[in-house]
Chain A
Amino acid sequence: MDEKIRSILAEHGRFPVDVATIGDDEDLFAAGMTSHASVNVMLALEEEFDMEFPESMLNKSTFESVTAIRTALAGLTGS
Chain B
Amino acid sequence: MRPLWFGPQDRPLFGWLHLPESGEASGAVLLCPTIGIEAVNARYAYMYLAGRLADAGLACFRFDYDGTGDSAGQQNDPDRVQAWLNSIQLAMELVGGLGTDRIGVVGLRMGATLVAESFGSGPAVVDDLVLWDPCASGRSFLREQSALWAFALGREAAGDGSVETPGLVYEKDTVADMSPLAIANGNGPLAARVLVLTRTGRNGDRRANERLALPHAERTSIVGQEELVDVLPDAAKIPETTVTTIVEWLASGAESGHAVAIDADAVGRSTAVVGQTADGAIIEERAVSLGPLGLFGIATSRVRPGVTARESGADDLPTIFFLNAGVIDHVGPAGLWVRLGRRWAEAGFRAIRFDLSGNGDSPVHPGQSRRVIFSSHHEQDVVAVLRAVSPRNPSNAVLVGLCSGGINALAPAIEIKVRGVCVLNPILTFKDLNHDGDEPDQGPAQTKGGMKGWVGKMPGYTLINRISKRLPSSAWWIINRIAVEITPARKLARVVDAGVDVLVIAGTDEGRWIRGGETRTLRRLEQTGRFRMEVIPGLEHTLFEHSTREVAVRILSDHVVGRFGTPTAPG
Contact = CB atoms under 8 A, between A and B. Distances in A.
A69 B269 CA distance: 54
B230 interface: yes
Nearest to A55: B157
B148 A36 contact: yes
A7 to B, nearest CB: 12
A47 interface: yes
A37 B147 contact: no
B154 interface: yes
A65 B202 CA distance: 23
B143 interface: yes
Contact of A35 (B152, B202, B203, B226): B152
B179 to A, nearest CB: 12
A31 B340 CA distance: 39
Most chain A CB within 10 A, of B147, B201, B226, is at B147
A43 B155 contact: no
B255 interface: no
Chain A interface category by residue count? 20 to 34
A55 B157 CA distance: 8
A40 interface: yes
B226 A39 contact: no
A20 B231 CA distance: 24
B150 A59 contact: yes
Nearest to A53: B147
Interface in A7-55: 11, 14, 29, 34-40, 42-44, 47, 55
A35 B144 CA distance: 11
A39 B154 contact: no
A35 B151 contact: yes
B202 A39 contact: no
Given A11-B201, A39-B144, A58 B150 contact: yes
Nearest to A38: B151
Given A36-B148, A39-B144, A39-B148, A59 B230 contact: no
A35 B156 contact: no
Contacts of A55: 143, 157
A63 B151 CA distance: 9
A60 interface: yes
B312 interface: no
B230 A40 contact: yes
A38 B152 CA distance: 10
B425 interface: no
Given A11-B201, A58-B157, A60-B154, A36 B230 contact: yes
A43 B144 contact: yes
A70 to B, nearest CB: 18
Nearest to A59: B150
A35 B231 CA distance: 9
B146 interface: yes
Contacts of B157: 55, 58
Most chain A CB within 10 A, of B203, B226, B230, is at B230
B156 A59 contact: yes
A34 B235 CA distance: 13
Given A55-B157, A58-B157, A59-B155, A39 B203 contact: no
A37 B148 CA distance: 9
A39 B201 contact: no
Contacts of A37: 230
Most chain B CB within 10 A, of A38, A42, A47, A59, is at A59
A63 B154 CA distance: 11
Contacts of A14: 226
B38 to A, nearest CB: 11
A64 to B, nearest CB: 10
A55 B231 CA distance: 23
A39 B229 CA distance: 12
A47 B202 contact: yes
B148 A60 contact: no
Given A35-B152, A47-B202, A55-B157, A40 B226 contact: yes
Contacts of A63: 151
28 contacts: A11-B201, A34-B231, A35-B149, A35-B152, A36-B148, A36-B226, A36-B231, A36-B232, A38-B147, A39-B144, A39-B147, A39-B230, A40-B226, A43-B144, A43-B202, A44-B202, A47-B202, A47-B203, A55-B143, A55-B157, A58-B143, A58-B146, A58-B147, A59-B151, A59-B155, A59-B156, A60-B151, A63-B151
Interface of A: 11, 14, 29, 34-40, 42-44, 47, 55-56, 58-60, 63
Interface of B: 143-144, 146-152, 154-157, 201-203, 226, 230-232
Nearest first, the 5 closest Cβ-Cβ pairs linking A and B are A35-B152, A36-B230, A35-B151, A58-B147, A60-B154
